[in-house]
Chains A and B, each alone.
Chain A
C-alpha cells in the first residue's frame, strides 16, 4: 500500500499569529487506513486537517494528496474531489430542505449525470444508514442523524479520503456512537481512507493508527494500544488515557504484571480475571 496523504516538513503560521501552528510535520498516511488524530484545543489538529484539502496551504514544506501538491492551484479541483471534509456542527453543513436533495448537492455541482446522481445518493444514504430518511426534512433529525447526512453528502462525491474534524463534538453519546461506527465501516467495507480529528480518546480506540498532536508537533504515533500505553507521555501532554489503560498502568505499579496493550474492555477484563484467579 502506498501513501495517499503525505506531509513533508510542513510549517504553518496563521497570518495574524506570531506562533507557528504547525512546526515541521512529517506524516505519511496509507490508502485505506483509519487514522485518528488526538490533541487538545490549540494543538494544531484542525490546522493539520485543513491542510488535507487545501483549505490551508503550508507556509513552508509541502502536502501531497494522491501525488497532487496542495499549493498548486491548478490541482485544486482534483484535490477537493479526492478529499471530502466533515465539520463539527451538522447544522452548518446542511443546505437543502430534503435529505436526499442535500446529499445530491455536491454531485450536482460536479456535473454528474442525473441517473448517476440517483445511484450515488441512494448508495451514500445506505452506507450511512439513512436511506429510509431520504425524504425527511433534515432539521427534524437528531444531531447524530444530521451528521450522518452530512457524511453521506461527502461520500456522494466519491472521494478516496474523508477527513472529519471533531464530527462528534456536538452530539450525545448515542449520536457519537452512530457517527464513529459509520466512519469505521466506510473504511473497513469501502476501503475509504478515514482521518478522524478528535479530542475524545474513546473514539480513537478502534482506529488503525493514532497520531497525537501537541503544540503543532506530532508527539506520538502508532497503534492506539501502543500510544495509550505511554501513560506518562499522555499525562504530560494534558491528555487522559482510557480507564482500562490507566487501571492496568497503576495496578502494574502495585506489583501486577498485566499487558499494557489490553486496551479494549474485554481484553482488560480477561487479563484482570486471569491475574485475580
Chain B
C-alpha cells in the first residue's frame, strides 16, 4: 500500500538559468512499507529536496516517484491524494502553527480531507494522545505553549491525517534533551502502533544509529551509503571522509583502534562499546 519506489530521480533547481543547481541526481531506491529509515548528510546534500519529492511538493526534473505502485505525479488528483498518504513534518514546524486553538490546528489537515465532524474529532484526539498533548490544552492558543509542546502539536497536525508514511525533517532540532527524548518516543510509538513507514532526517548520529533500521547517507545529491546502522557504522572512515560525524561510541572505538586496540564487531551504541571493552579486558587477562 505505502511502499515508496524512487526511480532514477533527479532535481535541478532554476534549470536553464545562470543559477542552475543540481540538488539530487539519479536516485534509485525502494522503501518497503513499515520501514524506519534515517536520512543523514550535510546541509545542502539534497536530503530536503529528496523528501519534498516523496509527497509531490516538488516535481522531478528527471525520473519518477511511486507510492503504492502509482506514480504520484501522474495528474493533479494523484499529486493531491499523496499529501494524505505521505505526511511531511518540516523543520521547525512550530512556526507553521496558525490557528486560534490547539484543537483547530491539529484538525486543519483532516478538515481539508473533507472528513465528517465526528471523524475529525476522533482523529484530533488520537493524534494528540500520540504526542502527549493533554485535552485540557485543546482550547488554548498554540502560540502560548512551550517550544517542545508547540513542536508536538505541529507533529500531531500531520499525524491526524493518518499518513501511511510519516516523514520528519529534523524533528528534534532546537529542543532540549528532555524535549528530544519525548518527540522521539512519540514517533516510535506512532510507528509501532500504526505500522507506518517513518523517515527521519537527522543530524544526530546517535539517534539515527539507535532508532532506525536503515540509513541513507546523502552526499552531493547522491545516496553515498545505504544499509543498516550496523553496516554503515562498520565503515566509519567513509562517513568521516564525507565530513559527517560518527556516533560518539564509534568515535571512541576508532580512537582506540588508532592506539592499537581493535574491538570486535560494529560499534555504534554505548552498550555495544561497553560490552566490547569488557570483552577485550577478559581476553587480555586470559
- B225 touches A (CB below 8 Å): no
Q: How far is the CA of A42 from the CA of B179 in the complex (A)?
A: 12
Nearest chain A CB to B207 CB, angstrom units = 12
Mask of B221-244 contacts with A, CB within 8 angstroms, 1/0: 000000000000000000000010
In the complex, whether B259 has a CB less than 8 A from a CB of chain A is: yes
> Is B203 on the interface with A (CB-CB < 8 A)?
yes
Secondary structure call for the B interface: helix
A-B contact number at CB 8 A: 84
Cβ of A173 within 8 Å of any chain B Cβ, yes or no, is yes
> How many interface residues does B have (CB within 8 Å)?
33
Task: Please tell me which stretch of B6-14, B190-198, B270-278 contacts chain A, meaning at least 4 of its Cβ atoms lie within 8 angstroms of it.
Answer: B270-278
Contact (A247, B178) CB under 8 Å given A172-B43, A173-B203, A277-B261: no
Interface of A, secondary structure class, is helix
Which chain A residues in 80-97 approach chain B with CB under 8 Å?
88
Residues of A within 8 A of B284 (CB): 276-277
Give A85-116 as 1s and 0s: 1 = Cβ < 8 Å from B's Cβ atoms: 00010000000000000000000000000000
Nearest neighbor of B244 in chain A, beta-carbon distance: A173
Q: B255 at the A/B interface (Cβ < 8 Å)?
A: yes
Cα of A136 to Cα of B273 in the assembled complex, Å: 46
| Residues of B close to A78: CB separation below 8 A | none
Q: A246: which of B43, B146, B270, B281 is its contact (CB, 8 Å)?
A: B270
A40 at the A/B interface (Cβ < 8 Å)? yes
Could you say which residues of chain A place their CB within 8 Å of the CB of B23?
A: none
Residues in A with CB closer than 8 Å to B256 are: 269, 272-273, 276
- Whether a CB of chain A sits under 8 angstroms from the CB of B132 is no
Compute how far the CA of A169 lies from the CA of B179 in the bound complex, rounded to whole angstroms: 13
Q: Which residues of A contact B173 (CB under 8 A)?
A: 169-170
Per the 8 Å Cβ criterion, residues 223-277 of A in contact with B are 238-240, 242-244, 246-247, 250-251, 254, 256, 265-266, 268-270, 272-273, 275-277
Interface residues on chain A, number (Cβ under 8 Å): 35
B249 and A170 within 8 A (CB): no
Interface residue ranges of B262-286 to A (CB < 8 Å): 270, 273-274, 277-278, 280-281, 284
Is the CB of B18 closer than 8 A to any CB of chain A? Answer: no
**Could you tell me the distance between the alpha carbons of A133 and B174 in the complex, rounded to whole angstroms?**
26
Q: How far is the CB of B240 from chain A (nearest CB, A)?
A: 13
Which residue from chain B places its CB closest to the CB of A243 in the assembled complex?
Answer: B248
- In the complex, A105 Cα to B43 Cα: how many Å? 29
* Pairwise interchain contact A270-B259, C-beta atoms closer than 8 A: yes
Considering only residues 46-62 of chain B, those with a C-beta below 8 Å from chain A are: none
State whether B43 touches A272 (Cβ < 8 A): no
Would B252 and A243 count as touching, CB distance under 8 A? Answer: yes
Which residues of chain A have C-beta atoms less than 8 A from B258's C-beta? Answer: 269
**CB distance A172 to B203 under 8 Å?**
yes
A-side interface residues toward B, CB under 8 Å? 40-42, 88, 142-143, 169-170, 172-175, 199, 238-240, 242-244, 246-247, 250-251, 254, 256, 265-266, 268-270, 272-273, 275-277
Q: Give me 18 other A-B pairs in contact (C-beta within 8 A), A41-B146, A272-B252 excluded.
A: A40-B176, A41-B178, A88-B174, A142-B43, A169-B174, A199-B176, A238-B178, A243-B251, A243-B270, A244-B248, A250-B274, A256-B281, A268-B255, A269-B258, A273-B260, A276-B256, A276-B261, A276-B280
Sampled A-B contacts (28; CB under 8 Å): A40-B176, A40-B177, A40-B178, A41-B146, A169-B173, A170-B92, A172-B42, A172-B43, A172-B203, A199-B176, A239-B177, A243-B251, A243-B270, A244-B248, A244-B252, A247-B252, A247-B273, A247-B277, A251-B277, A251-B278, A254-B278, A265-B251, A269-B252, A272-B252, A273-B259, A276-B261, A277-B260, A277-B284
